Amino acid sequence: MTAKLAFLSMISTLALTANAAAQMSVTTFGATDAAACYQNANSEFSGDTDPCDKAIKDTGLTRGDQMKTYVNRGIIHNRNLDLDAAIDDFNAALEIDDGLAEAYLNRGNSFFLGGRFDDAFAEYETALANDISKPWAAWYNIGLIHDAKKQPAKAREAYAKALALKPDFVLAQQKLARGE
């Protein structure tokens, strides 16, 4: 579970940043608290949501930055395994923009971490339908669902799709090399 959480956290954060080996593309610049929230979401080790809480209360944030801050705080909640709070934040972001693929991907991660594999699958498909910036991450996560459901052929197919979209994606390469 720890390895899955670490990867899903990395994927979630990367989805909101432009770092290596993960997805999403939402960033928050501007207000100091929003920027600190973004940095905490981007940090593999931070569980501090205080800057996010302060930023969300900031009436000076644009709706777009508020939406991104909800996603960033949701990523931190996922990392803390506070899945209900994470889902609430992703829902709040989707109330602002119901086409935000990154929020669907991250809400899918919340569902995955909670063992709600069918719900996670639906979220990853919605992220793909909304043109997520890093579709290979969604396909990799779909592979994880199929692994969890003991569907190795479907998992390999999903990992192969992830690798076709990002040939240097090491985690998908490893899954396929191990025959997972």
pLDDT tens string 5-45: 445 544 554 434 322 223 333 444 455 888 889 988 888 88
Query: What tokens appear for 55 in the block?
Result: 């930023």
| Whole-structure pTM value | 0.82
- The CATH homologous superfamily for domain 2-177 is Tetratricopeptide repeat domain (1.25.40.10)
Determine what percent of the chain is predicted with pLDDT higher than 90: 66
Q: Which of 34-48, 99-113, 115-129 has the lowest mean pLDDT?
A: 34-48
Cβ-contact 104, 119 below 8 angstroms: no
User: What residue type is 148 in one-letter code?
Assistant: A
Domain definitions of the chain by residue range:
2-177
- Identify the CA nearest to 42 among candidates 60, 57, 58, 29: 29
| Per-state percent for the chain, helix, strand, coil, to nearest 5 | 70, 0, 30
Rounded to whole angstroms, how far apart are CA atoms 98 and 123?
12
Q: What φ, ψ does residue 46 adopt, rounded to 5°?
A: -85, 135
Q: What φ, ψ does residue 119 adopt, rounded to 5°?
A: -65, -40
Rounded to whole angstroms, how far apart are CA atoms 118 and 172?
21
The SS3 of residue 88 is: helix
Residue 1: C-alpha distances to residues 4, 6, 9, 23, 99 (Å): 5, 9, 12, 20, 30
